[in-house]
Structure 1
Amino acid sequence: MQHQEIPHVKRIETSREDAVAFEVTGHITAADVENLYGLLDGIYVVHDKIDLLVLIHHYEGFDWTAAFREGTIAGKTSALKHIRKYAVVGGPSWMSTTLAFFRPFLSIEMKHFALEEQEEAWKWLGAEPRPIE
């Protein structure tokens, strides 16, 4: 029997079509990053502007080589054109500092929330997670 890797990036259904959320867990690989940008590209076809929430928990690291791959850089560039609000919930302690550093250079409203502030992040985004039916 072949061992199947559990996806580290999962989409969370939301109460608004133009509000997109992802749950990120474990060690993030290049394949996870490419999957995330692929999902976002599909959403941009339907919605030119979106609000994005990324929930990070049980973080175990990031494959930094993924950040500098050509496809990842193209995905980031594309994302910058389409995101209005970007909420990051949880993650490592450096996440808040990183968002604060980039905030003045981007037209995206960005905010970091502690994991226990998840409800506040959803309110800031103006959406709610929708239970899986």
Structure 2
Amino acid sequence: MYKVLPQSEGPALGLMISGKIDITEEQEMIELAEKVLAEHDKLNLLVIVGENVWASLEAAYADLRWITTHLKNVAKLAIVTDSKTLGWLVEQDAKIARHLGIGERHFATDELEEAWTWTKSA
């Protein structure tokens, strides 16, 4: 399941995800991103990752397909989680993202305000 965060504005889209993400929810999140991109050249995405998040294979494939075709449209990606494993994975992925012109950072849940400040900054 997902929830759009009320701090979302302009090119900054914030989502909280938890539990299972199915293809319908994935398509809804993709539509939200597309709406932002219809008004702005770039998307700054903040995702709070809750406990026990997983996606159906169909949803994961749709997400991967969308992101690989929209890399040029993503400016920033903030992942907010207390998972040490996911935090480490974000730090590794950030090295690749930097070469693609994407800022990517991991924030702990108690750093949410800092994550929003970073996501919304130019």
The answer to whether the Cα contact below 8 Å between 1:54 and 1:87 also exists between their aligned partners in 2 is yes
CA separation in 2, counterparts of 1:50 and 1:63? Answer: 22
SS at match of 1:13: coil
* Equivalent residue number for residue 90 of structure 1: 81
Q: Which runs of 5+ in 1 are unaligned?
A: 1-7, 128-133
* Equivalent residue number for residue 2 of structure 2: 9
Q: TM-score of the superposition, structure 2-length normalised?
A: 0.79
Deviation, structure 1 residue 44: 1.0
* Equivalent residue number for residue 115 of structure 1: 109
Structure 1 consecutive aligned stretches of length 4 or more whose deviation exceeds 6 Å? none
More helix by share: 2
Q: Deviations over 1:92-132 (max 9, x none)?
A: 332212212222222211111111111121122236xxxxx
The answer to whether the Cα contact below 8 Å between 1:13 and 1:20 also exists between their aligned partners in 2 is no
Bigger Rg over Cα: 1
Query: Which is bigger in relative contact order (C-alpha 8 A, separation at least 6)?
Result: 1
Matches within 5 A, 1:40-119: 40-57=33-50, 59-63=51-55, 65=57, 66-67=59-60, 69=61, 71-90=62-81, 92-106=83-97, 107-119=101-113
The answer to whether the Cα contact below 8 Å between 1:84 and 1:109 also exists between their aligned partners in 2 is yes
CA RMSD of aligned residues (A): 2.1
Q: TM-score of the superposition, structure 1-length normalised?
A: 0.74
Deviation, structure 1 residue 32: 2.5
Give aligned-pair identity as a percent.
26
Q: Deviations over 1:33-90 (max 9, x none)?
A: 2321121122211111121111222x223125132x2x33321123422111111111
CA separation in 1, counterparts of 2:15 and 2:65? Answer: 19
